Every structure is written in structure tokens, then in C-alpha cells.
Amino acid sequence: MSGWLAVAGLGPGAADLVTPEVETALAEATDIVGYGPYVARVPNRPELRVHASDNRVEYERACLALELAAQGRRVVVVSSGDPGVFAMAAAVFEAVEAGPESWRELAIRVLPGITAMLAASAHVGAPLGHDFCCINLSDNLKPWSLIEHRLRHAAEADFAMAFYNPRSQARPQGFERALAVLRECCGDDRLIVFARAVSTAEERTRVTTLGDARADMADMRTLVIVGSSRTRLVPRPGQPFVYTPRSAS
């Protein structure tokens, strides 16, 4: 049996946002590898082997998946959103580069998914309608000094900004520091969107300004978008539309 490995994005949460390509790979897989809550989203069947693990063992998880594929298994490594955005695809290729030469001969595919960033943007309108950047606010794999450096330069360039992993129980102060930097660079009137668990039953969205934003409005399931100086709010009954115009002078 010829093994293969697919690194698949399960999208932001709703089952109908999983792509047909990913559904096909999951149906053909002999093994599913991933962080426990993501693995739990995959429909189970008797012959499927499930390998769930903790969220901080990405490299070890990638090595396990590659070992299984080398044994002839059909392996899908699952991530939420898109596997190439702060997720498992990079970990798999880190392992391929550092591992046995034979791993480089494996059939490896990356199957894209809808990111939390894109789902959150679509949910409120089009805040990423012009140039934007995306920053992971977790300092698990990089120092806070680098995060702040990038925040300041992104604000100076007047990008709209999307932030992953803004605030966790282990590092509750980081997002407060990020908000302080953004207020200093962008001012209190800049629009900010808090989109938690978009497309799931726990979905909650709030549109406000940097001046009124609080760190406790976000957690690890929240995608935060800060607009550029051109980002607009369109009042309407219920939740307003937020968009960034397509042109700039």
C-alpha cells in the first residue's frame, strides 16, 4: 500500500465550510493526526485510527504523521482554518527538512481551508478589502519585542491588521500591551472587531473602537481585526457593516 500525507484545514468551525477536497481526503484516510479538539471534529468510523495530542507538540505530531505515511498509511493532519496560517503545514515541512531523507519522497499535499481571519472579515463586511497584514500575538515561539516591532511598523504602514491568538490564560497581559501600542500608534477612534468562534453556536461579534476596547473582550477563540485609517463603519439595524475601501491615494 502506498502511503500519503495530507495537511488539511477544517475551516473556522461550521461543517458546511469544510471544502469538498478536505472531505474527500478525510474519507480516504486511515489515520487522523491533530490537536484533540480539531480531531474531534472529524466524523469517526470503525476503521479510522485517531491520534489526538496536546496543542504544544506540533513538531512531534508532524513526525508521527510522517512516520505513519512512511509505513504506507493514508494520513491526514488536521488544523482549524487553513493549515498554512499559524498551523500544522509549516511544522510538517520543518520535520521533513530535519528528518530522514526518505520523508522527502513521500506524497505530501496541503489542502487549504477557510481561515478564521477570512470568516470573521466576511461576517462583518469587508474590513480586509484593501492592503492588510496578519500577526500572531502569541509569544510562545517568538519574543514579545518582535511582536511589538511588527505591530508598530504595521500601524505606521496603515495596514488593516488581523490578529490571531490574542489572549490566553497563560499570558493575559500580552493583549493589553498590544492594545496600548495600537492606541499609541493609531489613536482611540480606530475601528476594531472582536469575532469569537465565527460560524459556530458560540459565535459572538462586537464592533467598537480602540478607545473602548478592553483586553477581556478577546480570548484564544477570538479573531481581532483593527482597521486602517480608511476603514469605514456603515450603521444599520443590528450589527453594522465594516469595510475598507478598495482605493487609496
Q: Tell me the pLDDT band of 243, cut-offs 50, 70 and 90.
A: very high
Axis crossing angle, helix 173-186 with helix 144-156, rounded to the nearest 10: 30
Q: Closest Cα partner for 208 from 124, 115, 122, 119?
A: 124
Element containing residue 242 per DSSP (H, E): strand 241-243
DSSP 170: S
What is the tens place of the pLDDT at every residue in 187-216? 999 999 999 999 999 999 999 999 999 999
pLDDT band for position 56 (cuts 50, 70, 90): confident
Nearest to 51 by CA among 69, 111, 114, 93: 69
Q: Which of 70, 60, 67, 69 is nearest to 94 (CA)?
A: 60
* pLDDT at 103 exceeding the cut of 90: yes
Average per-residue pLDDT in the chain?
Answer: 96
pLDDT tens-digit map of 61-85: 999 999 999 999 999 999 999 999 9
Q: What is the rounded distance in angstroms from the CA atom of residue 234 to the CA atom of residue 51?
A: 46
The pLDDT of 153-168, averaged and rounded, is 95
Let me know: does 231 contact 210? Beta carbons within 8 Å: no
What's the pLDDT score for residue 171? Answer: 77
pLDDT of residue 2: 84
Q: What is the share, in percent, of the chain residues with pLDDT greater than 70?
A: 100
Query: How confident is the model over 111-116, as a mean pLDDT?
Result: 97
Residue 1: the pLDDT is 56
Mean pLDDT of 6-31: 97
> Domains of the chain (ranges plus CATH)?
4-114 (3.40.1010.10), 117-243 (3.30.950.10)
Using CA atoms, how far apart are residues 88 and 93, in angstroms rounded to an integer?
Answer: 9
The per-residue pLDDT for range 28-52, each reduced to its tens digit, is 999 999 999 999 999 999 999 999 9
Average pLDDT over residues 91-120: 97
Percent of the chain with pLDDT over 90: 93
